[in-house]
Amino acid sequence: MIGLRGVGPNPPGARSGGGSNPAGAAVEERRSKIGARGQERGAARAVGQGMKPVLMALTAATIAGAQGVAASPLSRYVDHARVLVISAPAAGDPELRRQDAALGAQASGLEARHVMVVRAVGAAAYGLRAGEAGAADVRTAVGLPANLFGIALVGKDGGVKLRRREPISTDELFGLIDAMPMRRNEMRRDEMRRDEMGRTKTPGASPG
């Protein structure tokens, strides 16, 4: 009899000459997927680490901008009033006197245009709440020097609309303000309000 030893299926883990091992292929596929997922997580961590400085810089810039607005002594007037800042090194400055004289005769025009006048004279500020800010804070907010006369007009949006080193006439000031988009909207609303009041007023009926 011829013995059958050595004839039969391949032992576990051995490869046949022309076939494939399904179990081994599945293991290799799982290893490949695990490796790919690891690479993806590593890349994501690298991107996250790279974005951290950018996000920190953006956050710092946002906080700084908010603090700058909050720190301005004129910020509370945004959307409520226009601010005319008049700056002079001393109370006896001749240009300051000229400017005050021009504005003093036009108080009603300033009020109609929602203009609040703030003076920074020497080291003191006038026109703000007591202790709210000093002259240096006001000048810094609008970019005026301390040693020269100057004026600055701040719009209701908080932006500086005019900055100059000599007094301004009320005609020029009012013309500038009346040309602003927000002021033009205000004038249209005022006109509509007057028209509405005119239509609602009816003459009294004559007796009998």
Number of compact structural domains in the chain: 2
Please indicate, yes or no, whether residues 85 and 186 belong to a single structural domain of this protein: yes
Angular region, 134: left φ>0, alpha ψ -120 to 50, beta rest: beta
Per-residue model confidence as pLDDT tens digits over 78-114: 999 999 999 999 999 999 999 999 999 899 999 999 9
Domain of residue 61 covers 25-71
Please indicate, yes or no, whether residues 95 and 152 belong to a single structural domain of this protein: yes
Please indicate, yes or no, whether residues 85 and 187 belong to a single structural domain of this protein: yes
pLDDT of residue 131: 67
The pLDDT confidence band at residue 196, using thresholds 50, 70 and 90, is: confident
Please indicate, yes or no, whether residues 94 and 147 belong to a single structural domain of this protein: yes
Please indicate, yes or no, whether residues 44 and 105 belong to a single structural domain of this protein: no
Please indicate, yes or no, whether residues 125 and 57 belong to a single structural domain of this protein: no
Per-residue model confidence as pLDDT tens digits over 107-119: 999 999 999 999 9
Q: How far apart are CA 185 and CA 187, in angstroms?
A: 5
Measured between alpha carbons, how far is residue 11 from residues 14, 15, 19, 109 in Å? 6, 8, 14, 105
Please indicate, yes or no, whether residues 98 and 123 belong to a single structural domain of this protein: yes
Average per-residue pLDDT in the chain? 77
Number of CB atoms found within 10 A of residue 67's CB = 10
Q: Is residue 123 part of a domain?
A: yes
Cross-strand bridge partners of residue 84: 117, 153
Please indicate, yes or no, whether residues 147 and 90 belong to a single structural domain of this protein: yes
Please indicate, yes or no, whether residues 35 and 137 belong to a single structural domain of this protein: no
More confident: 13 or 189: 189
Q: Is residue 83 part of a domain?
A: yes
Please indicate, yes or no, whether residues 98 and 41 belong to a single structural domain of this protein: no
Secondary structure (H, E, C), the chain: CCCCCCCCCCCCCCCCCCCCCHHHHHHHHHHHHHHHHHHHHHHHHHHHHHHHHHHHHHHHHHHHHHHHHHHCCCHHHCCCCEEEEEEECCCCCHHHHHHHHHHHCCHHHHHHCCEEEEEEECCEEECCCCCCCCHHHHHHHHCCCCCCCEEEEECCCCCEEEEECCCCCHHHHHHHHHCCHHHHHHHHHHHHHHHHHHHHCCCCCCCC
Q: How far apart are CA 109 and CA 49, in angstroms?
A: 59
From the list 88, 200, 92, 97, the residue with the least C-alpha distance to 147 is 88
CATH classification of the domain holding 122:
3.40.30.10
* 128 pLDDT higher than 90: no
* 68 pLDDT higher than 90: no
